[in-house]
Amino acid sequence: MAETINVTLKVWKQESTEHKGQIETIKADNIPTSASFLEMLDIVNETLIAEGKDVIHFDHDCREGICGACSLNINGVAHGIEQAVTTCQLHMRSFSNGDTIWIEPFRAKAFPVLKDLMVDRSAMDRVIQAGGFVDIRTGSAVDANSLPIEKELADAAFAAAACIGCGACVAACKNASAMLFVSAKAAHLNNLPQGQAEKKKRVLGMVAQMDAEGFGNCSNQYECEAVCPKEISVDNIAKLNRDYLSSSIKEGVQTI
């Protein structure tokens, strides 16, 4: 029989954006250590339903560390204490019997709480809509080898493209900055030849939308890189700053 543990959950409960929230204490007993964190919440919710109580509302989708929907602050850390994993990849074997686990939603002005642990992260979608794409006419698909790309640039583009837009970087930053997310999405395209035609437009548009959504400024303390489940490098932030300054000068945009 699989080993089980008993833990105490301190869960943020909030009816809606318009309501005030509070921490509630919920017991989680006989939880298999092989269960993922989300599976633990499933087990707890089954018990709550059986008792006629309100369940814990949380976001999830793929449960494979791909979509980023499972974003939770666990014991004050975005996605929990394990490095380079999403919440759905965190397992209960990382905790001990008798532990108290604090579970809260990602905190940011741009991420209003919808219910309990669910937040509205559509602000990040609007940042992408502001420039995180290529819309030039390229014709039909060409052979991949017909457009040589330096390995260093290709590697950088692939590494940046690994960003799943979960928002952990925002939750970890004391200023709720989205710079790691924005810089990754910009670097993905700006490192490739296909993205050069719209580079200035992309950088200026995405940064402007980021500011409009209420994200804060970069703290330069790199909590974002520390909690990123895909280990996106803060080097992308430095590159975005250079690209933004260059684009602003060329386009005559006021930067101060």
* Homologous superfamily (CATH) for 122-251: Alpha-helical ferredoxin (1.10.1060.10)
According to DSSP, the residues that pair with 168 across neighbouring strands are: none
Average pLDDT over residues 127-155: 85
pLDDT bin (cut points 50, 70, 90) of residue 21 is very high
Q: List own/partner pairs for 191-197 with CB under 8 A and 24 or more apart.
A: 191/153, 191/154, 191/156, 191/157, 191/160, 192/149, 192/153, 192/154, 192/157, 193/147, 193/149, 194/134, 194/136, 194/138, 194/147, 195/134, 197/136
The encoded tokens of residue 41 equal 């919440």
104-122 confidence digits (pLDDT tens) = 999 999 999 999 999 999 9
168-223 confidence digits (pLDDT tens) = 999 999 999 999 999 999 999 999 998 999 999 999 999 999 999 999 999 999 99
Say what the pLDDT of residue 254 is. 63
- CATH architecture of the domain with residue range 4-115: Roll (3.10)
In our burial notation (b when 16+ CB lie closer than 10 A, e otherwise), range 225-243 reads bebbbbebbbebbebbeeb
